[in-house]
Amino acid sequence: MATVQNHLIKLLPRSDRARFLSSCEEVQLVLADVLCMPGEAAPYVYFPVDGFISLVATTDGSPYLEVGMVGREGMVGAHVGLGVMTAPLRAVVQGSGSSWRISSQAFQREVAASEALQRVLDRYVCVLMNHLTTSATCLRFHQIGPRLARWLLMSHDRAHSDNFRMTHEFLAYMLGVRRVGITAAAGVLQKSGLIEYTRGDLTVLDRIGLEAAACGCYASDRKAYADLLE
């Protein structure tokens, strides 16, 4: 990994950053790999560089529901820095790519040794709280079409490409709706010239138009992040 591209690590002063990276290793995130499970100890904390990860809520007998997404702007395992080893959510790789990884024990030591890292962690936890609140509100009050546009924008931001793999079945699970609803909403976006979808390959054709089609939750999330971490 030639350069540090995770934004949270970039925010650290040079000396803190160098010490932190000396405790990390570069790993490859593999599509569909599960990094942690709710109620189980998280062995590692991840700082994605060009992969991205879905944070998924699970309930016995119910489908999965995505409540968050993490790319190079964030991290997976913030709870470890708060002294909680068990994961609250399922983390599954949605987009393959590279990531920095640090053991949970080493991460706790780094947080204790670096006030700068503690500040970044505190602010990122606030961002996560905002994101989770927004996701819950979006699920309850917004229609499938704007929610789908928001989700595609979030994926587009983190995929660093106009094209990525995505199936209607996967989208239905992530958004907590029936597949037929996703098919109809995606069809509207495609007829409007905003996306192109063929056999699991999705291409964003009109980013500005997709932003106009999304609910206000997308802009709200971006503002919350910018206010706290940019």
CATH number of the domain to which 182 belongs: 1.10.10.10
Q: Note down the domain range covering 171.
A: 143-214
Same domain for 153 and 91: no
Same domain for 75 and 148: no
| Amino acid letter for position 141 | F
Same domain for 117 and 50: yes
Q: Which ranges of the chain have pLDDT less than 50?
A: 1-2
| Domain end position, chosen among 118, 138, 158 | 138
Question: What's the pLDDT tens digit per position in 26-53?
Answer: 999 998 899 999 999 999 999 999 989 9
In Å, what is the CA distance from 122 to each residue of 14, 95, 111, 119? 19, 26, 11, 5
Residues 26, 98 contacting (CB under 8 angstroms): yes
CATH number of the domain to which 93 belongs: 2.60.120.10
Tokens 């024990």 sit at which residue? 105
Residues 168, 162 contacting (CB under 8 angstroms): no
Q: Model-level pTM greater than 0.85?
A: yes
Indicate whether 227 belongs to any domain: no
Q: How remote is the C-alpha of 90 from its chain's centroid?
A: 12
Could you give the number of structural domains in the chain?
A: 2
Pairing state between β 25-29 and 65-70: unpaired
Indicate whether 19 belongs to any domain: yes
